[in-house]
Amino acid sequence: MSQTYDIVVIGAGPGGYEAAIKAAQLEKKVALIEKNAVGGTCLNRGCIPTKALMHSAHLLEEMKNCEELGIKAEQVSVDFGQLHERKSQVVGQLQDGICQLLKANKIDLFQGKAVITEPGQIKVTTEEENLEISADKILIATGSVPSRPPIPGLDLPGVVTSDEILEGAGKEFSHLIIIGGGVIGIELATVYEALGTKVTVIEAMKQILPNLDKEISRNMAMILKKKDVDVHTGAMVKQVAECDGGLAVTYEEKGKEVTVEGDGVLVSIGRRANIEGLFEGEPLVETERGAIVVDENFKTSVDGIYAIGDAVYRNIQLAHVASAQGISTVCHMFGVESELDLSLVPSCIYTSPEIAAVGMTADQAKEAGIAAKESKFLMSANGKSLISREERSFIKVLFEEESHRIIGANMMCARATDMISEFSLAIEKKMTLEDMASIIRPHPTYAEGITEAVEAGLGCSIHSAPARKPRK
């Protein structure tokens, strides 16, 4: 059996299924191939399951401290199985929604493994049959899988990645040791700590969340330590071994070898492109370090074959990046102009408080030779933050010194992940501090902090103490 399509998309994660829908909107004949469940890593083993668990964890923390709010609750307990059942319900509902969208857009969904045999030709193996599919264009959106560094002992029982810890009924631990203090590691550290698990984080870099603003990293480290999470930075894991208590992780810190014991180890040191077995024999396209090399239009070295998302070499591994790239690439394929700005990518971390950033950091501006200044507002003076008992929260704005044009923002506060888009718009539209300050934001809201942060750059923040004048 052979079928022909205008475009075949391989991978039904956020990048893949949104690209398929965009192509269908352009009245193209579309096929979408997925060997597992639709939604990809983000929906099934990443963003959505993590945030579902974090919502439960945050609610539990509120209940534990509710007496401060005038509420008394007794015998508050955790049903670990029910937590994961609820998570699975959310995932299932979103999966159903995607399938309905694909059907409504008349996209042919093939549940099976895809192999690109030659340009324009794909072999699909499903449970029922083997298919040969032809396509004018092929879009690779196969995502990524967790990386496992060459550390002895990572194949032992009890050593898991984020895939295993988030799928199905999850994994329950009394002491979880997390190797890696990046976004995934820190988000899961906050979940397990809230559920009563002892957590140890071991990060090789000098700070956790190493790609973020230094003040944000320091603040999050202090919040975690206050919650009795054991955080070690500048620490290199040497091995994992079995012991009477379960697993022993040996790491080197400040020139000394240290061993910590727990009953579970989470390996969270990044993800790698998932293209193994995608081609028949050697990859048809150019690759680098196991990922696909593309040009500025996400075209590979072979005409008619494109790649987006985590499968791409040196790409930003975020679901919304893959989605934007998928839509933009489909537009380029079929000669339609895309209005998406792929250079401006907000990053979000769903800890408590939330973290979000977009645009340049102060260090990046300095390296680029841009004369920039930073203004800051402490959210301890924000009424909504005080009501919800947010701690160590702030909003920082980076702007060009002369023009006052906003070029970056870092937020560590409640609803930061929702509010960061206001700064994305400001940077995209080249807005100034004055432009942002001219907007009336409702009271009481977290968004009032945005007004205060931009007004601080103008020296007129109402709810900040006047800046001290330097002594003459």
Catalytic positions are 443
The owner of tokens 């193209």 is 28
**Whole-angstrom Cα distance, residue 423 to residue 109?**
37
Q: The tokens of 412 are what?
A: 């560590």
CB 180 within 8 A of CB 269: yes
The whole-angstrom separation of Cα 391 and Cα 464 is 17
Question: At 390, is the secondary structure helix, strand, or coil?
Answer: coil
Edge-first strand listing for the sheet containing 355-359: 347-349, 355-359, 406-412, 394-400, 372-378
Residues 6 or more apart whose Cβ sits within 8 Å of residue 377: 394, 395, 449, 452, 453, 456, 461, 463, 464
Rounded-to-integer distance, Cα 385 and Cα 96, Å? 36
The set of residues, in sequence order, having a beta carbon less than 8 Å from that of 330 and lying 6+ positions away, is 7, 19, 22, 23, 26, 139, 336
Q: What is the DSSP secondary-structure string of 305-363? A: EEE-GGGBTT----HHHHHHHHHHHHHHHTT------TT---EEE-SSS-EEEEE--HH
Residue with tokens 């060459």: 150
The rounded distance, in Å, linking the Cα atoms of 120 and 109 is 18
Cα–Cα separations (whole angstroms), residue 462 to 44, 67, 373, 449: 45, 32, 19, 11
* Cβ–Cβ under 8 Å, residues 134 and 304: no
> Contact, 27 vs 106, CB < 8 A?
no
Whole-number Å distance between alpha carbons of 192 and 199:
7
Evaluate whether 37 touches 44 at the Cβ level (below 8 Å). Answer: yes
